[in-house]
Structures are given as structure tokens and as C-alpha cells.
């Protein structure tokens, strides 16, 4: 009984490590994707625009382009996922208890869902305003 429980807990630990490894890979690949998207975002929004920021009409003209619209949505999702996975890693560094970490995980998922939902809603609203 003892040895079967030990074996099971070892298997659980291995599974958890696999999942942490998967989350690390998501963090790494989302980071590399962000290098491209954020780089393009900063150049498009701040460095090639006269005055450094688009005015209202320029923003609408920009998001009216379907390609830009899709890139901006991918950007919101990738940046939010990367940021919240990073926040989770920081919390893990503070040596929380397993119970605290469960709560933190749910809070981060909720914050991520709200942020991504809001970002998508905003992008759609702006595209509608651009078409109006």
C-alpha cells in the first residue's frame, strides 16, 4: 500500500513537471511571437506615425484593415497569456502553499479571460466604428 502510494505520488509529480514544462514552452514561444508582433506594433503605432501616436481617425483607418485586425487580436491573446504565465512564475518563486497556488491559478485564468474578452470586444467595436 505504502509503495503503491509512493509510486502514485511520484507519477503525479512527474505529470506536474510535464505540465510545468508545457507551460514554460507556451511562455517561451509566446515570448518569441511577441518579439515579432510587439516589434511590428511599436513601429506601426509609434515610430512611423508622425507625432508618435495615431489620432482617432488614423486608428479607425488602421483597424479597418482585416489583416491588422487579426494581428491585433493575436497580439492581445499572446501578450495576455505571456504576461499572466509570467505572473504565475513570479508567484511560484515566492513559495506559496499548494492551496494558495490553486487560488492564484483561478484568479489568473479569470483575469486573462476578462482581458482577452475585453480586448476582442474593443477591437470589434472599433472595426464597426470604422465601417460606420
Partner 1 sequence: MDNIQPTTDPVRPKAPLRSWFDVRGRSLSTLAFALNRLTAIGLTIYLFLHLAVLSLLLRGPEGWDQFVALAKNPAFLLLDVVLLFGVVYHMANGIRVALVGMGVAHTRQKSLFYVLVGIALVAFVVGAVLIFVE
Summarize as ranges the residues that interact with partner 1 (CB under 8 A): 13, 15-17, 19-20, 23-24, 28-29, 31-32, 34-35, 38-39, 42, 46-47, 50-57, 59, 76, 79-80, 83-84, 86-87, 90, 92-98, 101-102, 105-106, 115, 118-119, 122, 125-126
Identify which of residues 70 and 92 has a Cβ nearer to partner 1 in the complex. Answer: 92
CB 17 → partner 1: shortest distance, Å? 8
Contact predicate 15/8, CB 8 Å? no
CB 26 → partner 1: shortest distance, Å? 11
Identify which of residues 4 and 41 has a Cβ nearer to partner 1 in the complex. Answer: 41
Residue 129 CB neighbours (<10 A):
13
Cα–Cα distances (Å) from 48 to 41, 52, 60, in that order, read 10, 7, 17
Q: Which three cell numbers stand for residue 81?
A: 497569456
Residue from 117, 39, 30 nearest 81 by CA: 30
CB 2 → partner 1: shortest distance, Å? 20
Q: Which three cell numbers stand for residue 108?
A: 489568473
Amino acid at each position: 500500500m505504502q509503495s503503491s502510494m509512493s509510486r502514485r505520488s511520484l507519477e503525479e509529480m512527474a505529470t506536474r513537471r510535464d505540465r510545468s514544462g508545457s507551460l514554460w514552452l507556451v511562455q517561451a514561444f509566446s515570448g518569441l511571437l511577441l518579439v515579432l508582433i510587439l516589434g511590428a506594433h511599436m513601429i506601426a503605432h509609434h515610430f512611423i506615425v508622425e507625432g508618435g501616436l495615431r489620432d482617432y481617425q488614423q486608428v479607425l483607418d488602421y483597424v479597418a484593415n482585416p489583416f491588422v485586425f487579426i494581428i491585433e487580436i493575436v497580439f492581445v491573446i499572446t501578450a495576455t497569456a505571456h504576461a499572466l504565465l509570467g505572473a504565475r512564475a513570479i508567484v511560484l518563486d515566492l513559495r506559496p502553499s499548494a492551496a494558495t497556488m490553486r487560488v492564484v491559478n483561478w484568479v489568473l485564468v479569470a483575469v486573462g479571460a476578462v482581458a482577452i474578452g475585453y480586448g476582442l470586444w474593443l477591437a470589434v467595436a472599433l472595426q464597426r466604428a470604422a465601417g460606420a
